[in-house]
Structure 1
Amino acid sequence: MSLSESLPLLLAALVTEAAIGYPARLFAWIGHPVTWIGGLIAWLDRSLNRESASFAVRRMAGVAALLILLGVTLAAALALVALCRLAGVLALLPLALLASTLLAQRSLHDHVADVAAGLERDGLAGGRKAVSMIVGRDPESLDEAGVARAAIESLAENFSDGVVAPAFWLGAGGLPGGALYKAINTADSMIGHKHPRHLAFGWAAARLDDLVNLPASRLTALLLIAAAALDRNADAGTAWRAVRRDAQRHRSPNAGWPEAAMAGALGLRLAGPRVYGSVRVEDGWMGDGRAEATAADIRRALTLYRRACLFLWGLAAAGSLAALAL
């Protein structure tokens, strides 16, 4: 797809997903593209990841699995684009509906807002229950401030890889570009971790995910800084300084950028040492503000997130006009 097609598609997808999300009844009926991709990844894992094989063989099997995943995803996306184009000038509508399923603006907002509501309504127990739906760490190890920080960290990181990154690749490559990104990101979440079973097999997925998220993580930080500049309850200058100082300290090559921007903008300290299961993970602190975050800080983070999403819409609109004018 050309930029004159993909950028208007991106804008339409962003607006569509924010307006209607992904209906729960539809999910119950047919699942979601991510669950379909996940099913293929699970099958490839069962079929190709032989525990009796050597490390090198399992790494090559992981490369092969990733290539199969990307090939199937690309073929399906191209077929859907061809099918939608049969609608002629109305093709943008079904394409936007399909592309909207690759974005998570609305669901991310709602899940994080549930954590704030849980803390406000039911205290620590309610916050822990809600945050367990969006983070991988042990919620029982978190106090109220830890729950609030975890929710804000999840909002920042998932704004990058659940919204900005798929939007970036939708804009760059249309539905095929967005679908390929989502396949890579889902593979990383399923097999890209350092568990013994996936240390070799998931190596290719993890490295490719790091690569394709590089531009979006930096763009996300800039969007949050821009949003902070228009928010009297946030500080764009501190956000910029936090990104420059702290983003590289994060154990992830990408997550530190949006987390540092969010921390600086809100005057908080995010990331740092955390517990996943029974394993303590040492990580650098993002920002130099207070660590005692609250439900009110989650609400402030959500306001910043909504403003940043509008800036993303603005970029998509400006890009669309520029591409159509060429």
Structure 2
Amino acid sequence: MTIDENLLVLLLALLLDRIAGDPQWLWSRMPHPVVMFGAAISYAERQLNPASLTGSQRRMNGIAAILALLLLAVAAGFVFNRFFALFGLVGILLETGLVAIFLAQKSLADHVAAVAVALRHEGLAGGRAAVSRIVGRDPETLDEPAVCRAAIESLAENFSDGVVAPALWYAIFGLPGLFAYKMLNTADSMIGHKSEKYIDFGWAAARLDDVANWPAARLSILLIAAGAWIRRGTSAGREAVRVAM
């Protein structure tokens, strides 16, 4: 597809994801593509990250693993792209559906809205329970303003890597770019930790994920500021940029 066609598909996919989100009836019957990415990452980690290796050996294996996984993702994206191209308009619709699967607009909005609803109707206990589904921190230590801040911070972070980054890499490189980004982002969430087990093996995945997310994070700031400006005026837009920076 050309960049113009990619942008058309992306627009349709954003609309589809905002309306339909992730249908649980579908993913209860078949594995989500990200789950399959995770299975590939887990297999590579089991084969290449035994405890018997030195730190430098683990780091080299981690570099080789993420490069191989990215190559696999790019190849899969290219195959799907060429397959869809055989079907004209139907292929565009199929690609739209596939791209929408990798976006998280509706699920993100629903989870954050659930925090506000829970605070309003169930009080602090309900807000803590709702926010625990989207943040890693202990919600029992949070008062009501902290619950709100945690939800907003999670929204901003996941807006970047769950919506803007996949959309950006698809717009530029099509399905190969989208698949590669999601493979990298999934690898970072699984092995990009500073634990003894992953600090060396996951080093390359974590560093590459930082690079891949850098342009999307900056674009997210501008989009959030634009939203604040539209809803609340110029001063709110400037304040959104100041806080984000």
Q: Normalization by structure 2: what TM-score?
A: 0.95
CA offsets, 1:254-304, max 9 Å, x none? xxxxxxxxxxxxxxxxxxxxxxxxxxxxxxxxxxxxxxxxxxxxxxxxxxx
Which ranges in structure 2 are unaligned for 5 or more consecutive residues? none
Asked whether 1:57 is paired with 2:76, we answer: no
Instruction: Tell me which amino acid in the other structure corresponds to 1:181.
Output: Y
Which residue is equivalent to 2:209?
209
SS of the aligned residue for 2:231 comes to coil
Cα distance, 1:72 vs structure 2: 1.8
Which residue is equivalent to 1:5?
5
Instruction: Tell me which amino acid in the other structure corresponds to 1:239.
Output: A
Query: In the aligned structure 2, how far is the partner of 1:12 from the partner of 1:130?
Result: 30
Which residue is equivalent to 1:120?
120
Which residue is equivalent to 1:186?
186
Which residue is equivalent to 1:47?
47
CA offsets, 1:198-227, max 9 Å, x none? 100100000000001111111110111111
Instruction: Tell me which amino acid in the other structure corresponds to 2:236.
Output: D
Whether the 8 Å contact between 1:9 and 1:174 is mirrored in structure 2 is no
Whether the 8 Å contact between 1:60 and 1:201 is mirrored in structure 2 is yes
Cα distance, 1:143 vs structure 2: 2.1
Cα distance, 1:91 vs structure 2: 1.6
SS of the aligned residue for 1:230 comes to helix
Query: In the aligned structure 2, how far is the partner of 1:89 from the partner of 1:235?
Result: 42
Cα distance, 1:141 vs structure 2: 2.3
Asked whether 1:91 is paired with 2:91, we answer: yes
SS of the aligned residue for 2:86 comes to helix
Instruction: Tell me which amino acid in the other structure corresponds to 1:210.
Output: D
CA offsets, 1:230-256, max 9 Å, x none? 11377112223334xxx2xxxxxxxxx
Instruction: Tell me which amino acid in the other structure corresponds to 1:237.
Output: R
SS of the aligned residue for 2:232 comes to coil
Whether the 8 Å contact between 1:70 and 1:180 is mirrored in structure 2 is yes
Cα distance, 1:31 vs structure 2: 2.4
Which residue is equivalent to 1:283?
none
Which residue is equivalent to 1:22?
22
Which residue is equivalent to 1:272?
none
Asked whether 1:223 is paired with 2:223, we answer: yes
After superposition, the CA RMSD in angstroms is: 1.5
Query: In the aligned structure 2, how far is the partner of 1:228 from the partner of 1:146?
Result: 21
Higher mean alpha-carbon deviation, 109-118 vs 4-13, is at: 4-13
Q: In the TM superposition, what are the counterparts of 1:130-141 in structure 2 within 5 Å?
A: 130-141=130-141
Asked whether 1:239 is paired with 2:240, we answer: yes
Query: In the aligned structure 2, how far is the partner of 1:125 from the partner of 1:35?
Result: 32
CA shift in 2, pair 1:241/1:22, >3 Å: closer
Which residue is equivalent to 1:106?
106
Cα distance, 1:74 vs structure 2: 1.6
Query: In the aligned structure 2, how far is the partner of 1:18 from the partner of 1:69?
Result: 29
Query: In the aligned structure 2, how far is the partner of 1:110 from the partner of 1:191?
Result: 28
Cα distance, 1:54 vs structure 2: 0.5
Q: Identity, % of aligned pairs?
A: 51
Cα distance, 1:174 vs structure 2: 0.9
Whether the 8 Å contact between 1:59 and 1:204 is mirrored in structure 2 is yes
SS of the aligned residue for 1:133 comes to coil
Q: How many residues align?
A: 244
Cα distance, 1:182 vs structure 2: 0.8
Whether the 8 Å contact between 1:17 and 1:104 is mirrored in structure 2 is yes
Which residue is equivalent to 1:129?
129
Higher helix residue share: 2
Indicate the structure whose relative CO is greater, using CA pairs within 8 Å and at least 6 residues apart: 2
